[in-house]
Amino acid sequence: MSPLSLEQAQDFARRGFNRRAFSKLATMITAGATLPFASEHALAQLSMIGPLPPDAVKINANENPLGPCKEAAEAMYNVIQKGGRYLYEETFSYAKTLAEQEGVKPDYVMPFAGSSDPLHRAVLAFTSPTASLVMGDPGYEAGSRAADFIKAKVVKVPLTKTYSHDVKAMATADATAGLIYICNPNNPTGTLTKKSDIEWLVANKPKGSVVLVDEAYIHFSDAQAASDLVAAGKDVIVLRTFSKLYGMAGLRAGAAIARPDLLAKIRPYGAGALPVTGMIGAMTSLKTKGLVEGRRKMNKQVRDDTFAFLDKNKFQFVASDSNCFMLDAKRPAGELVKLMAKEKVFIGRVWPAWPNHARITVGTAEEMQKFQKALLKVMA
């Protein structure tokens, strides 16, 4: 039996899906949140060589070695005993808190267990065989993999010389664009796209398209969030996750922030209660004073120290405003990844557009000391 409503089936037919793609989508919708697409973790696994030794330095998946803040950890621990219930109220309170902080109405926030899920759903909802995904290159691949899966065209637009999204080129890249993906700061480069550029894109995008602003790493930077564009009723969806600065990648919390009619388009793709640990951890993190500023400062300190070391030793890299950066390996960067792994330092993957660069996550000061030592050895 098809899990689709008549309305959904008609919508798919209108969007140019053929019978095969149509039944594939129907199967995915039945599967709900376990959509078979890539996440940062899965993508990072691809560049790993076997199980990691216990003393490994793991700076390959943009995780936060600090984990959740103390307040969030305690709140999660305390809620576990009540976990026999669905506890929807915790999810509602988390969404309400986020909405208040972002200056949007409560029904403009849809909570999720992380942001991979709404990212994939947005691709399913707004792209199709006749509506493309437009994204920066190099950019975070998860959305393009979801687009490939449903045979939507992916249009990759190189970053500018200053490594920001080339919004002018993106706006005209494909007149039939369904979704334009901006990751700010960008993964993998950690570089920023100016708010005024995002505003320009929103004002000049192809008719009927939606701009998806992925702010997974925004807390590490001074960038201005795009939630005011959502509040102003624009065709914009903002994604947030607690997997990065908040250190909750394994605990799972995130959100899509958008106009209710846009959120309604991603709602049908899956259902179910969200993990109360993630929800209460997210809410507590949002309410913990000084958390973002403190961790941002800590990350910047280690990042600046790492960049000073790279400069001193004449390594080339792209300066970043996030918890990751691209290092020029001066050779196919996959070789560097392997050599560093031999030193038990696991660095991130390589993007086809920049074959000589590898992405490095900014870990703790101690981890980055080990990174420096290993880098000097293998680059000698």
DSSP class of residue 63? -
Which 227-256 positions form the footprint of ligand PLP (CB under 6 A)? 241, 243, 249, 254
Cβ proximity to ligand PLP, 40 vs 90, nearer residue: 40
Q: Find the radius of gyration of the CA atoms of the chain.
A: 21
DSSP-based three-state secondary structure for 304: helix
One-character DSSP codes across 131-169: BEEEEEES--SHHHHHHHHTT--EEEEE--TTSS--HHH
Cβ proximity to ligand PLP, 118 vs 178, nearer residue: 118
Residues whose CB is less than 8 angstroms from the CB of residue 336 and which lie 6 or more positions away in sequence, other chains included: 327, 329, 347, 358, 378, 379
Cβ proximity to ligand PLP, 119 vs 155, nearer residue: 119
Q: Which two tokens stand for residue 331?
A: 């050779």
Among 47, 91, 97, 115, binds ligand PLP (CB under 6 A): 115
Residue 148 CB, nearest approach to ligand PLP (Å)? 17
Which 327-366 positions form the footprint of ligand PLP (CB under 6 A)? none
Does residue 97 belong to the site contacting ligand PLP (CB under 6 A)?
Answer: no
DSSP class of residue 82? G
Among 72, 125, 183, 236, binds ligand PLP (CB under 6 A): 183
Residue 39 CB, nearest approach to ligand PLP (Å)? 5
Does residue 62 belong to the site contacting ligand PLP (CB under 6 A)?
Answer: yes
Among 94, 140, 220, 246, binds ligand PLP (CB under 6 A): 140
Cβ proximity to ligand PLP, 38 vs 374, nearer residue: 38
CA distances to 12, 153, 182, 231 from 21, in Å: 9, 14, 26, 35
Q: Which two tokens stand for residue 170?
A: 């993106």
CA–CA separation, 150 and 138 (whole Å): 21
Residue 142 CB, nearest approach to ligand PLP (Å)? 6
Query: Tokens 């972002």 appear where?
Result: 102
Contacts with ligand PLP by CB under 6 A lie at: 39-40, 62, 114-116, 119, 140, 183, 187, 214, 216, 241, 243, 249, 254
